[in-house]
Amino acid sequence: MRREIVAVVLICAFFALAAYYQANITQNLDHPREREVNVNYAQYVGQNVTISGIVVSAGAQSFLLKAVQGTYEIVSSEAVQPGDRVTVLGTLQAGHQLREVTMLASSPLLSSLVYVRSFFALIFLVVLFFVSWRFDWRACVFRPREPGRECEQRRQKKGGV
Amino acid sequence: MDWMAHLAFVFILCTLLALKWPVFGGRNTVLAMVGAVLPDLFKLYLALPLIFTDYLAPFHIPIGTLLMCGLGALLFEEGTRTRVFLLFTFGMATHYALDALLKHVTGGIMFLYPLSWETWQLQLVRPDNWLRTSIMVAAAVLVYGLLKVRSDRRVGRAERATEETSGNV
């Protein structure tokens, strides 16, 4: 019972943290994001904002960035390729234009490899975890696996002891 | 940073620490490894609508991850929970140590949230850097190999000593 109470307290504390974060993040950001910009575009013109997205087309002095809620023209001399994932910090201008201050671009291959590596790591971790630990459904807890003891228990069950 | 780098880093640390403090070794290493990926639970946002992103953000803030470590520890037997919690927390600390090295255009880790909204980032490594992951995985394999050879030698020596003793009797 005590365990359930502690779990509920921890979950409530997490929800409180999340609600506080959600309610105050906009005022505490270093730079507004696309979400804030979209709510009131005119308010942020002339300010530095952060936009992330995928490069749709690239020219010599600018490129088009498809973000979540719109497409922006980024004025920048940085070399990017269509398909690159880019995060730009830049000065917002009228007409969905951004003059780049600093940016980080990543090729589609490199950014997807991060997820591929993480997927294999997750599989490895799950296997490794269940080699050492087993879940006891009756007590609802993880217990260490003790190969000798488990074989003994199985033998006893088979023997009807 | 990808989970392979996180797991390799915490594995190396635990394996080396276990030489002096056995509590970091054996099946406890995997608990620290679980702790090392707990902060990235916030990546659930990839599967959810954009509106939930800010609600999930506290997963990747130390205080939020600590709460998750506590919740996770409750899934273990009574009497072992404090140790499990501390191992999860150790793994979590290694996660933030690595993530603090990353390059970001803006923002960083809010180490002191909810007391402060200030973010910290060392801006040293690109998040998609595969070379660092490869080096870390290679180092983890090397550490594992060296310690395996070391423990095999010890077992061999102990067996020889037992044989000699029984031969003398």
Between positions 104 and 123 of A, the ones with CB within 8 A of B are 104, 106-107, 110-111, 113-115, 117-118, 120-122
Q: Across chain B, what does the average pLDDT equal?
A: 91
Query: Which chain A residue has its CA at the smallest distance from B31's CA?
Result: A129
Residues B133-159 have a mean pLDDT of 92
Q: What is the per-residue pLDDT for B107?
A: 86
Residues of A in contact with B116 (CB under 8 A): none
Looking at the fold, whether A64 and A91 belong to one and the same domain comes out as yes
Q: What is the per-residue pLDDT for A155?
A: 67
B86 confidence band (pLDDT: 50, 70, 90) = very high
Please tell me the total count of domains within chain A.
3
* Percent of chain A surpassing pLDDT 70: 91
- Domain end among A87, A106, A125: A106
Looking at the fold, whether A47 and A22 belong to one and the same domain comes out as no
Burial of B31 (0-12, 13-18, 19+ CB in 10 A): buried
Looking at the fold, whether A44 and A101 belong to one and the same domain comes out as yes
**What's the CATH number where A49 sits?**
2.40.50.140
Looking at the fold, whether A83 and A59 belong to one and the same domain comes out as yes
Whether the Cβ atoms of residue A118 and residue B4 lie closer than 8 Å to each other:
yes
Nearest CA of chain B to the CA of A48: how many Å?
A: 11
Distance CA A84, CA B53 (A): 22
Looking at the fold, whether A79 and A54 belong to one and the same domain comes out as yes
Looking at the fold, whether A60 and A97 belong to one and the same domain comes out as yes
Residues of B in contact with A122 (CB under 8 A): 3, 37
Of B3, B30, B63, the CB nearest to A122: B3
Residues of B in contact with A19 (CB under 8 A): 55
Per the CB < 8 Å rule, is A17 touching B67? yes
Residues ≥6 apart with Cβ < 8 Å to A94: A45
Q: What is the per-residue pLDDT for A153?
A: 64
Condensed to tens digits (0 to 9), the pLDDT of residues A50-71 reads 999 999 999 889 999 999 889 9
Nearest CA of chain A to the CA of B116: how many Å?
A: 10
Residues ≥6 apart with Cβ < 8 Å to A101: A48, A89, A90, A91
Condensed to tens digits (0 to 9), the pLDDT of residues A6-52 reads 999 999 999 999 999 999 999 999 999 999 999 999 999 999 999 99
Residues ≥6 apart with Cβ < 8 Å to B22: none
Looking at the fold, whether A16 and A57 belong to one and the same domain comes out as no
Distance CA B153, CA B76 (A): 35
pLDDT over 60 (residue B169):
no
Looking at the fold, whether A120 and A56 belong to one and the same domain comes out as no
Nearest CA of chain B to the CA of A104: how many Å?
A: 6
Q: What is the per-residue pLDDT for B47?
A: 66
Instruction: Kindly give the interhelix angle for A108-132 and B130-168, rounded to the nearest 10 degrees.
Output: 30
* Percent of chain B surpassing pLDDT 70: 93
Whether the Cβ atoms of residue A128 and residue A141 lie closer than 8 Å to each other:
no
Per the CB < 8 Å rule, is A50 touching B106? yes
Choose the most confident range, by mean pLDDT, from A109-113, A148-152, A157-161, B41-45.
A109-113
pLDDT over 80 (residue B163):
yes
Residues B36-52 have a mean pLDDT of 77
Condensed to tens digits (0 to 9), the pLDDT of residues B63-76 reads 999 999 999 999 99
Residues B35-58 have a mean pLDDT of 80
Burial of B113 (0-12, 13-18, 19+ CB in 10 A): buried
Q: What is the per-residue pLDDT for B43?
A: 78
Condensed to tens digits (0 to 9), the pLDDT of residues B11-22 reads 999 999 999 999
Looking at the fold, whether A64 and A76 belong to one and the same domain comes out as yes
Query: End-to-end distance of chain A based on CA atoms, in angstroms?
Result: 32
B160 confidence band (pLDDT: 50, 70, 90) = confident
A149 confidence band (pLDDT: 50, 70, 90) = low
Q: Are strands A71-75 and A97-106 parallel, antiparallel or unpaired?
A: parallel
Domain ranges in chain B are 3-168
Q: What is the per-residue pLDDT for B49?
A: 64
Residue A57 belongs to what domain range? Answer: 34-106
Looking at the fold, whether A101 and A69 belong to one and the same domain comes out as yes
pLDDT over 70 (residue A78):
yes
Looking at the fold, whether A87 and A142 belong to one and the same domain comes out as no
Looking at the fold, whether A20 and A64 belong to one and the same domain comes out as no
- CA dist B97 → A137, B20, B36, B92, B122 (Å): 35, 22, 10, 9, 10
